[in-house]
C-alpha cells in the first residue's frame, strides 16, 4: 500500500550510488522508481527521479536518453519544486557542456545557481555551483570555473559532504590539465 513512498525512497539509494561513483547501480535504483511511478501518473517524485536518472545516464555516456529525461523532469516539475527545477538543469547543463554546447550549458547552470541560492540546502547549492564550474570549464573559462568549483566545495563542506567537496576541488586541476 506504500508503493509511491517505496519508490520515492529509491531516490536516496540512487543518490548514494552516485556518491559512491557507481552510475550503473544508481540507474538500477532510479529506473525501478521511474518504472513504478510513471504508469501511476505520479508527478511530484517522478520529476526529481527523472532528473537524477538523467545524471546517472550521462555519467555512462548515454546523453540522448539523459536529455529526454531532463525534458520529462522539466515538464513534470512544478514551479515551486526547487529540487526538480535545479536537478534537471544541472543534469542538462552537464550533458550540454560535455557535448561542446558551452553557452547553453552555462546559461542553464546559472539558472540552477539562481534557484539553488533561494534554498537552504547546501547540497543543492553545491550541485548547482559545480554544474556552473563544469560549464565554464567546458567553455574555456577556467578562472570562473575555479571560483564556481570553490563555491561548490564550500557548500558541500558546510553539509559535511566530503565526497562531493573532494570532487569539486579536483575539477579545476583536471580542466587545466594537472589531473589529466
**What was the pLDDT predicted at 179?**
44
18-26 long-range contacts (CB < 8 A, ≥24 apart) are 18/52, 18/55, 18/56, 18/59, 19/161, 19/163, 19/164, 23/56, 23/57, 23/59, 23/60, 24/56, 24/60, 26/52, 26/53, 26/55, 26/56
Picking from 68, 65, 30, 72, the residue whose alpha carbon sits closest to that of residue 47 is: 72
Residues 109, 114: Cα–Cα separation, whole Å: 9
Torsion over CA: 79, 125, 70, 99 (sign):
positive
Residues 99, 92: Cα–Cα separation, whole Å: 11
Residues 86, 25: Cα–Cα separation, whole Å: 23
**What was the pLDDT predicted at 92?**
98
Residues 54, 7: Cα–Cα separation, whole Å: 17
How confident is the prediction along the chain (180 residues), in pLDDT tens digits per residue?
678 888 888 889 999 999 999 999 999 999 999 999 999 988 889 999 999 999 999 999 999 999 999 999 999 999 999 999 999 999 999 999 999 898 999 999 999 999 999 999 999 999 999 999 999 998 889 999 999 999 999 999 999 999 999 999 888 676 666 444
Picking from 66, 64, 15, 6, the residue whose alpha carbon sits closest to that of residue 35 is: 6
DSSP 8-state secondary structure symbol assigned to residue 158: H
Phi-psi label, residue 96: left if phi above 0, alpha if psi -120 to 50, beta otherwise: alpha
Determine the distance from the C-alpha atom of residue 73 to the mean position of all C-alpha atoms in its chain, rounded to a whole number: 12
**What was the pLDDT predicted at 44?**
85
Q: What is the pTM of this model?
A: 0.92
Amino acid at each position: 500500500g506504500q508503493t509511491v513512498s517505496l519508490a520515492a525512497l529509491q531516490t536516496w539509494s540512487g543518490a548514494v550510488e552516485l556518491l559512491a561513483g557507481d552510475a550503473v547501480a544508481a540507474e538500477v535504483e532510479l529506473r525501478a522508481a521511474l518504472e513504478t511511478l510513471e504508469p501511476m501518473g505520479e508527478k511530484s517524485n517522478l520529476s526529481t527521479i527523472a532528473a537524477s536518472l538523467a545524471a546517472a545516464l550521462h555519467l555512462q555516456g548515454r546523453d540522448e536518453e539523459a536529455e529526454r529525461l531532463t525534458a520529462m523532469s522539466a515538464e513534470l516539475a512544478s514551479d515551486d519544486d526547487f529540487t526538480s527545477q535545479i536537478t534537471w538543469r544541472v543534469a542538462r547543463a552537464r550533458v550540454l557542456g560535455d557535448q561542446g554546447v558551452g553557452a547553453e550549458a552555462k546559461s542553464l547552470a546559472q539558472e540552477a545557481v539562481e534557484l539553488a541560492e533561494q534554498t537552504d540546502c547546501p547540497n543543492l547549492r553545491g550541485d548547482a555551483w559545480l554544474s556552473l564550474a563544469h560549464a565554464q570549464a567546458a567553455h574555456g573559462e577556467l578562472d570562473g570555473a575555479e571560483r564556481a568549483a570553490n563555491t561548490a566545495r564550500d557548500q558541500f563542506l558546510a553539509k559535511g559532504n566530503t565526497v562531493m567537496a573532494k570532487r569539486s576541488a579536483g575539477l579545476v586541476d583536471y580542466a587545466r590539465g594537472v589531473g589529466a
